[in-house]
Amino acid sequence: MSGTLSFEPDWISPPGATILDLLIERQCSVREFANQTHRSAHDIARLLSGIERLTPDWASQLAQTLGASPDFWLRREELYRKDFERICNKSDAETSHSWLDELPVKDMIRFGWVDKGASKPEAVMNTLAFFGVPSVDAWRRQYGKTLEAAAYRTSTAFEIKAGAVAAWIRQGEILAQEIDCAQWNPDALRAALPSLRALSRRADPAEFLPALIDLCASCGVAVVVAPLPEGGRASGATKFINPAKALLLLSFRYLNDNEFWFTVFHEAGHLLLHTGDGLFLEGIETINQKAEAEADEFALLSLFTESGLKELESLPLNQFAIARFAKRAGIAPGLVVGRLQDTKRIPFRHFNYLKAKYAWRE
């Protein structure tokens, strides 16, 4: 036999995979590593995912903190990019370019999730790197269930772009790497529910979000808030990133406390009631209506209790009675208004001034 055989795998591994292995081996968290390298936890998460390029400056810092030489890290990056480009070039260019049309690329660039490519092939590579896959086929295999869940609807009133939902969930996975969590502990999450309920009475997200994130992290749940690209229409999602860490992703889609906190408790219900059942999307009609109904009931009982729900059936319909009930129950008045509207005791336009309103900061 003549000639030389070369091994060209159809998978790729970013330098971040090696970095993550070393961090796990040394029991070093992402935040601790960020402090050691004088970088933000977000930069570290992007590097681990292969989105951010490993520059000479990065290589020097990695050599100082993790060992090996700067040349080793730069060579690792070079091989990764070459393999990435080789696999991308194998793919059908027309298919790859049309794939971008399925995704909210403009929003992804505006949100800072991906870098703008100088050409269509570079834009494809940047977007594939964001998703952590080498090809469009690999993307469809990895995100197939996400796409199916987002595409299923019994109503056609609104168009849902499955690619937008997939991008939002991927950003949630990336940001979850920044959050140091204890191991998943369902008992701890159940015990934390009263404290979570009390947080709803804080009107300012700058106050309650850090507390929400820290409290859930102590239970093994990474709470991530990320803007929703156009066409996504999801308000929350849950999935287990690994057996020890869950993701609870929120979009602030409706920008008021009633919708936000009900979504938090609905998603907590999925984590506690449907552990290991895969991805759940809130705000999108899914095939698993039974699980959604169970999560709704869990949220209602956790927020109001059975006696509270009974009391709401005859609660006087004025702002003072609503405020007094909310204070006794230890929840936001907006949640009480939302429940009265859902049960049609009051029209949807009534008492909305009692709901706290939020706004995205660019």
Amino acid of residue 130:
F
* Separation of alpha carbons 361 and 344, rounded Å: 33
Q: How far is CA 49 from the centre of its chain?
A: 15
188 and 137 within one domain: no
pLDDT for position 211 = 96
Domain-terminating residue out of 144, 179, 208: 144
Task: Between 141 and 226, name the one with better pLDDT.
Answer: 226
Residue 261 lies in a domain: yes
Q: Across the beta sheet with 221-225, what order do the strands follow? A: 221-225, 245-250, 236-242, 280-282
Identity of the amino acid at 110: R
Specify if 359 maps to a domain: no
User: Does residue 12 have a pLDDT over 90?
Assistant: no
Q: Say whether both 172 and 98 belong to one domain.
A: no
Domain hosting residue 56, numbered range: 15-144
Query: What's the mean pLDDT in 129-155?
Result: 72
Query: Is residue 150 domain-resident?
Result: no
Q: How many CA atoms lie within 13 A of 306 on its CB side?
A: 0
Distance CA 253, CA 260 (A): 8
Note whether 321 and 182 are same-domain residues.
yes
Q: CB under 8 Å to 233, separation ≥6 — which residues?
A: 158, 160, 165, 253, 283, 284
pLDDT at 316 over 70: yes
Domain assignment of residue 220, yes or no: yes
Residues 134 and 176 in one domain: no
Instruction: Evaluate whether residue 55 is within a structural domain.
Output: yes
**Does residue 120 sit in the same domain as residue 216?**
no
Separation of first and last alpha carbons in the chain: 62
Q: Domain check: are 343 and 199 in the same one? A: yes
What local confidence, expressed as pLDDT, does residue 4 receive?
A: 46
Number of structural domains in the chain: 2
The CATH code of the domain that includes 90 is: 1.10.260.40
Contact by Cβ (8 Å): 72, 54: no
Q: Provide mean pLDDT across the span 295-324.
A: 94
Strands 236-242 and 245-250 turn out to be antiparallel
Question: From the centroid of its chain, how far is CA 301?
Answer: 25
The token pair that represents 329 in the structure block:
């129950």
Residues 214, 345, single domain; the answer is yes
> 310 with 267, same domain?
yes
pLDDT, mean of residues 208-222: 96
Could you tell me if 71 and 206 lie in one domain? no
Q: How many residues does the chain have?
A: 362
CA nearest neighbour of 171 among 227, 91, 236, 215? 227
Strand, coil or helix: 247: strand
Question: What 8-state DSSP symbol labels residue 208?
Answer: H
* Closest CA relative to residue 247, chosen from 300, 187, 174, 347: 174
**pLDDT band at residue 156 using 50, 70 and 90 as cut-offs:** very low
Find all residues with CB under 8 Å of 140, minimum gap 6, and list them: 147
Model confidence band, residue 275 (pLDDT cutoffs 50, 70, 90): confident
Query: Per-residue pLDDT for 201 more than 80?
Result: yes
pLDDT tens digit string along 68-115? 899 999 999 888 888 777 766 666 667 777 888 889 999 999 999 988
pLDDT of residue 2: 44
Q: Are 233 and 253 in contact (CB under 8 A)?
A: yes
Lowest mean pLDDT among 23-27, 191-195, 221-225: 23-27
Q: Which pTM value belongs to this model?
A: 0.82
Task: Write out the DSSP string of 294-341.
Answer: HHHHHHHHHHHHHHHHHHHTT--SSHHHHHHHHHHHTS-HHHHHHHHH
Continuous H helices in 15-152: 15-25, 30-37, 41-49, 56-66, 70-90, 93-100, 105-110, 120-131, 136-142, 144-151
Q: Is residue 3 part of a domain?
A: no
| Structure confidence by residue, pLDDT tens digits, 174-194 | 999 889 899 999 999 999 999
Would you say residue 170 lies in a domain? yes
| Domain termination residue (choose one: 112, 144, 176) | 144
Same domain, 197 and 286: yes
* Residue after which a domain boundary falls, among 76, 109, 144: 144
Task: For residue 149, tell me if it sits in a domain.
Answer: no
* 201 & 324 share domain: yes
Shared-domain flag, residues 349 and 211: yes
